[in-house]
Chains A and B, each alone.
Chain A
Amino acid sequence: MKRKSVSILSALLVCLTSAVSFSAETIKIGALYPMSGRGGLYGQDSEAAIKIALAEVNAKGLPGGRKLEAIVTDDQSKPALAVTLAKRYITEDKVKFLYGVVSSGAALAVTEVSKEYKTIFVGSDHAATDLTANAFQKYYFRVSNNTYQSMAAGALYMQETKMGGKIAYIGPDYAYGRDQIAELKYSLGKLGVKYEMVGEFWPKLYEPDYTSYITAIIKAKPDVLVSGFWGGDTVAFIKQAKAYGLFDKMKYFHPDGGGNYEVFAALGAECPEGLIMSARHHNNWPETKENRDFVEKFKKATGRYPSYAAEGAYAGILVIAEAIKKVGNADDTEALVKAMEGLKVKLPEDPAGFTSYIDPATHQMVQAQAIGVTVKNDKFPPAKYMLGKFKVYAADKIMATQEYIDILKKTKK
């Protein structure tokens, strides 16, 4: 009896060590995403995209035959929880990379952990410019556009299409909403575009009812309503504003996150025509093989088309794999940081003839931005409208200027 239990024990031990030796071969990535509540969609889409990217890079192989593995945990977009989880990833799971994070608030907290533990943090999706400016630290990299880039492209669009005159702004009353209009004003000022602000409206994030804002905006009679909403708030605002005829009275301009696919999927046939919007990734632009393949693979894996968050989550894994290949291992963090600076990676969102790369100075991915107008397009159901008539702004024209970074350093210490 005793012998039997010993043999079971030794068998167990063999199993355990084999599990350990197996996990020693994988390179772990600790991802943090909201997996529940309003932001849950972005977490789930990011996880699906990470799986697609991991399958691709592991199939191609990494130095030493090692494989990349990602652990995804729900950070509920809460900074304190994200910090706890990030520390646990580093000390207990021994991850080599921190990854993801939708909320800029949580990302600003996680970047401190990354700095303290000298662990690389590859950010996807969160957009606060601060992370690659005043809150920059060398272990942080961002693989999707920040709000500065979107708003700089927005300013160029306004200049090109002679949009200006009276402007009103509505955006969520926290850093994301406040930063967008400040950055747009800065870029418009640089370009010398003339405008007059006739109102700024600050509903709280996830405000369910915009009725009173809509009537107040109509009363302010702007020529252009600039919008800084995010996710489901865009859907609610557009549905409510449409019934008031707001879109017949002014242009609607939403250059950071208005044209997210999930907004079109939710609006369906109710989406008004002629809204001017952009997103960090479009399912129907650029019309390259890489983008089509990515969108189709995602659809096949999940049964739905990806929201904007998916491509950023996909991109980061490619970046990590490329960096490891360049260095030859995943253990030399300093060498990985050096390898990632200036790293070029061909991504689904890259237009033909352009390859995204990481700016060595700020660790921000340098990418083009396409702004379009809503037109009928039912190729990506349940959406009935998508963006079309794109105007594309070159990646190097929309990067945060040193002057702006200095302003942030001074004002946002």
Chain B
Amino acid sequence: MSFEIFISQFLGGLSVAMLLFLVASGLTLIFGVAKVFNFAHGSFYMIGAYFSYQAIALFDNFWIGVVAAALGAGLVGMLLEICFIRRISGREEEGAFQILLTYAFILILDDAVKFIWGPAYKTITKPESLSGSFNFGTVTMPTYNLFIIFLGLVIVVSAWYILSRTRTGKIIQAASSDSQMVGMLGVNVSLVMTLVFGVATAMGGLAGAMAAPLRTVAPGTGVEVIIDSLIVVVIGGLGNFWGALFAALLIGEVNAFGILWMPQWASLLSFAVMIVVLIFKPKGLFSREKGRKKI
């Protein structure tokens, strides 16, 4: 394999990984802090794409669309947390309720999108400035995919800064390991939960808006990203932010080179990686040994 093909396949895998990470990181963050398994997380990715479609239709600007997607998805996320998810937290039957509730969100959001925007596929065009491509020798790399990689890195760095260098980040980390204790120290835990939900769903919405020019904007697309995101979250360790990053990169690159070398088996690769990881590290690669604390 020539170096050029390696680079092309590697960068392609990286751009897939970054979009995957944007969705999976939100999913894992919600699990880590709020202990909620948000099945509907992919649906925020979907509504992000639709919010961006609507904003672009109104203002004719891609970036306003991206901002609208993140804000819109974040607001819907916080609303659902306040109105529904908060109501079941701490109950004995919480686990089963979470699944029922968040699964219901998938159906409701899918149908809401269909009612508002209709069943036909929507299209979002890339911004003019990112529509070109770079050539490395014989290999072409679209500018837009490079931008997604860049954006992913910016989010990783900011997330690292916020989580480990700011007071808010420390509260989030503390709430993730023992929310009752944090509450006793005078922190408004339910506000933290709502904000975490908002940020996580906003990231899903952002991913939806960024992916929209490359993919299909249609009802039901949320369910398709949630499976891959679940794999990433499980491999990385439930609730582990850095685990999600590592696992997204792993899945992205394993798929990229798997498709090149053994295309017949490509759709099995993600699952194969997950199985191997779970055999050796049943709680995921980056799991904290103690796991989830039971109170």
Chain A residues engaging chain B, CB cutoff 8 angstroms: 36-41, 43-45, 173, 199-204, 206-209, 211-216, 218-219, 231-233, 235-236, 239-240, 243-245, 262-263, 265-270, 304, 307, 382
From B13, B19, B121, B131, residue with most partner A Cβ within 10 Å: B121
Question: Are B220 and A38 in touch, CB under 8 angstroms?
Answer: yes
Give the chain A neighbours of B15 by CB distance below 8 A: 211
CB A172 to nearest CB in B, in angstroms, measures 9
CB B247 to nearest CB in A, in angstroms, measures 16
Question: Are B264 and A202 in touch, CB under 8 angstroms?
Answer: yes
Least CB separation from B4: chain A residue: A219
CA distance A45 to B114 in the complex (A): 13
Question: Are B216 and A235 in touch, CB under 8 angstroms?
Answer: yes
Which one, B156-164, B179-187, B207-215, is touching chain A?
B207-215
CA distance A270 to B124 in the complex (A): 10
Question: Are A262 and B219 in touch, CB under 8 angstroms?
Answer: no
CA distance A219 to B257 in the complex (A): 12
CB A270 to nearest CB in B, in angstroms, measures 6
Contact A212 to B218, CB < 8 A, known contacts A36-B114, A206-B224, A239-B213: no
Question: Are A212 and B13 in touch, CB under 8 angstroms?
Answer: yes
CB A177 to nearest CB in B, in angstroms, measures 11
CA distance A232 to B228 in the complex (A): 18
19 A–B pairs (Cβ distance < 8 Å), ordered by A: A36-B220, A41-B218, A44-B119, A200-B264, A208-B211, A208-B221, A212-B9, A213-B266, A216-B9, A216-B260, A218-B140, A219-B5, A219-B8, A232-B218, A240-B214, A244-B133, A262-B120, A270-B125, A304-B118
Question: Are B263 and A232 in touch, CB under 8 angstroms?
Answer: no
Chain B residues engaging chain A, CB cutoff 8 angstroms: 5, 8-9, 12-13, 15-16, 19, 107, 110-111, 114, 118-123, 125-126, 131, 133, 139-142, 144-145, 211, 213-221, 223-225, 228, 255-256, 259-260, 263-264, 266-267
Give the chain A neighbours of B140 by CB distance below 8 A: 218, 244-245
Give the chain B neighbours of A235 by CB distance below 8 A: 121, 123, 216
Give the chain B neighbours of A269 by CB distance below 8 A: 125
Give the chain A neighbours of B139 by CB distance below 8 A: 215
CB B56 to nearest CB in A, in angstroms, measures 13
Contact A244 to B142, CB < 8 A, known contacts A262-B121, A265-B120, A266-B121: yes
Give the chain A neighbours of B145 by CB distance below 8 A: 211, 243
Identify which of A37, A202, A209, A307 contacts B263 (C-beta below 8 A).
A202
Identify which of A37, A44, A239, A243 contacts B215 (C-beta below 8 A).
A239
From B144, B256, B267, residue with most partner A Cβ within 10 Å: B267
Question: Are A202 and B267 in touch, CB under 8 angstroms?
Answer: yes
Give the chain B neighbours of A208 by CB distance below 8 A: 211, 215-216, 221, 224-225, 228
Identify which of A40, A231, A245 contacts B114 (C-beta below 8 A).
A40
Give the chain B neighbours of A212 by CB distance below 8 A: 9, 12-13, 16, 255-256, 259-260
Give the chain B neighbours of A36 by CB distance below 8 A: 107, 110-111, 114, 219-220
CA distance A361 to B225 in the complex (A): 44
CA distance A37 to B259 in the complex (A): 28
Question: Are B16 and A211 in touch, CB under 8 angstroms?
Answer: yes
Give the chain A neighbours of B255 by CB distance below 8 A: 212
Lowest 4 CB-CB distances: which A-B pairs, in order? Answer: A37-B220, A243-B142, A232-B216, A266-B121
From A199, A208, A231, A266, residue with most partner B Cβ within 10 Å: A208
Question: Are B224 and A243 in touch, CB under 8 angstroms?
Answer: no
CB B253 to nearest CB in A, in angstroms, measures 9
Question: Are B263 and A216 in touch, CB under 8 angstroms?
Answer: yes
Contact A37 to B223, CB < 8 A, known contacts A201-B263, A236-B215: yes
Give the chain B neighbours of A231 by CB distance below 8 A: 121
Give the chain A neighbours of B131 by CB distance below 8 A: 243
CB B294 to nearest CB in A, in angstroms, measures 36
Give the chain B neighbours of A244 by CB distance below 8 A: 133, 140-142
CB B258 to nearest CB in A, in angstroms, measures 8
Question: Are B263 and A199 in touch, CB under 8 angstroms?
Answer: yes
Give the chain A neighbours of B119 by CB distance below 8 A: 40-41, 43-45
